[in-house]
């Protein structure tokens, strides 16, 4: 497993991390045993970065992480969590000093730690990025020793660009994959310039880029791929990266032609992300041991050729960009 610098934090993390949304909820049923086994397998494979949120299973994901780390002992990996989405309604006025501190205190308890490595504002309303007082509250928590650093998780590239104007924003998490290439136009340049860490989420486009789906694929009723295809529960871009399902399946078949026979499409899609040096860590999810191990192995496969990168760019521009590029 290769490591990368996590922005200006002074820490290095595995370039493949573990996205802990699936072990929390809204990805269909994942048993406690499967969730713990998946996380153990990722850590055994060299993963040193875990991303979670207080809203994943209303704390279930954070608690499972705490259990696994307690079982393993030794040096703790870098654990990033997110806060804000438990607000109901999720509106800017809820981002108060009292609420933010309460969210952090709950995550400290769930994760069984004295200080959180990284706390990210969890896709807050756009107006939050124009509210210096919110970032001042985060600064206070750093100064108090409750959190070591903070960042943001965003829906839109414009939000990411605005967020990094605040000098103490240490990281930005956003969707970046073969179906969502816009961050590489301007944002990555600015993030590198400011030494801001980049966390690439939804790397497999909700499973589309595993190449295992077809028009007859069926998902559990509790899976967001069933109930959020049109943004009914949260931003549409989080489900299948916002690409219409049939359009995406057609593009996947074009991509399949460039996948070497000795690697899976999922590994290929993760390796495509890692070709960009602006990315600090990519965080695929896993619901079981084999998925976690396969994700980790993407760090080991050879770099993609310039010809392959150009072909994937063309597929994106002609088949995918019209549906997503200007929206996010």
The CA-based dihedral angle spanning residues 298, 304, 308, 310, taken in that order and rounded to the nearest 10 degrees: 110
Q: Does the annotation mark 56 as catalytic?
A: yes
How far is the C-alpha of 107 from the C-alpha of 63, rounded, in Å?
9
Q: Is the peptide bond before 89 cis (omega within 30 degrees of 0)?
A: yes
What's the Cα-to-Cα distance from 294 to each of 8, 15, 98, 190, 233, rounded to whole Å? 29, 14, 42, 32, 30
Residue in the block written with tokens 């079981």: 288
d(CA 323, CA 262): 32
Calpha distance 59→190 (Å, rounded): 33
Q: DSSP secondary structure string, 71-125?
A: HH-SSPPEEEEEESTT-SS--GGG--HHHHHHHHHHHHHHHT-SSBSEEEEES--
Give the span between the Cα atoms of 285 and 209, in whole angstroms: 13
Q: Known catalytic residues?
A: 56
């Amino acid at each position: 497993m290769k490591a990368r610098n996590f922005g200006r934090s002074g820490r290095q993390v595995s370039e493949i991390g573990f996205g802990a949304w699936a072990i929390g909820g809204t990805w269909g049923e994942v048993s406690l045993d499967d969730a713990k086994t998946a996380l153990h397998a990722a850590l055994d494979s060299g993963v040193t970065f875990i991303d979670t949120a207080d809203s994943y299973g209303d704390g279930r994901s954070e608690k499972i992480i705490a259990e696994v780390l307690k079982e393993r002992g030794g040096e703790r990996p870098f654990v990033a969590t997110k806060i804000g989405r438990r607000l109901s309604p999720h509106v800017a006025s809820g981002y108060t000093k009292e609420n933010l501190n309460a969210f952090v205190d709950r995550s400290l308890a769930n994760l069984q730690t004295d200080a959180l490595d990284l706390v990210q504002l969890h896709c807050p309303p756009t107006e939050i990025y124009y509210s210096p007082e919110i970032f001042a509250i985060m600064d206070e928590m750093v100064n108090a020793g409750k959190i070591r650093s903070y960042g943001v998780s965003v829906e839109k590239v414009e939000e990411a660009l605005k967020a990094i104007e605040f000098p103490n924003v240490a990281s930005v998490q956003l969707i970046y994959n073969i179906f969502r290439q816009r961050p590489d136009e301007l944002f990555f340049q600015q993030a590198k310039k400011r030494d801001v860490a980049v966390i690439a989420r939804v790397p497999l486009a909700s499973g589309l880029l595993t190449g295992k789906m077809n028009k007859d694929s069926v998902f559990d009723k509790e899976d967001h791929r069933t109930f959020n295809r049109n943004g009914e529960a949260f931003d549409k871009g989080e489900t299948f990266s916002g690409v219409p399902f049939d359009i995406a399946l057609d593009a996947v078949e074009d991509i399949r032609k460039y996948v070497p026979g000795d690697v899976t499409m999922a590994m290929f899609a993760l390796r495509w992300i890692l070709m960009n040096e602006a990315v600090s860590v990519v965080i695929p999810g896993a619901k079981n041991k084999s998925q976690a191990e396969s994700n980790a192995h993407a760090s080991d496969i050879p770099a993609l050729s310039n010809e392959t990168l150009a072909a994937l760019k063309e597929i994106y521009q002609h088949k995918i960009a019209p549906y997503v590029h200007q929206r996010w």
